[in-house]
Structure 1
Amino acid sequence: MSNVLKKITVGNPLVNFGLWEDLEEYKKIQTPEELCNFYHKMLTKYEKRKLVYYYITVMIGFSVNTDVNAAIPNKL
């Protein structure tokens, strides 16, 4: 089992929300620790934008190869 988080290389949802600065930051991430810190920052930054928040959790789920939203009631 690997402890490395996967990055999205095609079809990043940040594009759909026009979050260009965040996307550029995401592209520069080199380590799993940086990716983890990025996700924590994004969850805090967009906690009031429910749809963006939801897709960040989807990105996290992709990174850890699981559906993290299955455990969250009333997603939207």
Structure 2
Amino acid sequence: MSNIQEKIEQELANARQVCGADEASPAECAAAWDAVEELEAEAAHQRQQHPAQTPLEKFCDENPDAAECRIYDD
């Protein structure tokens, strides 16, 4: 996930640079911000597909035999 965050930061810097230039056209500026929005949407999509584990889930992944992680059949 940090890789996409780095790309977002790069595109943000690029968009600010492009839009801050005197000779930049409105179309170039819009395209630069579109690239930022697309990356942010992808990052949000990845967060939805990989929800963060709870501390208990992490513990049970590392310690499946712990009493807290036992699953009982009814």
TM-score between the two structures when normalised by the length of structure 2: 0.38
TM-score between the two structures when normalised by the length of structure 1: 0.37
Name which one, 1 or 2, has greater alpha-carbon Rg: 2
Q: Which has the higher contact order (CA 8 A, sep 6+)?
A: 1
| Higher helix proportion (structure 1 or 2) | 2
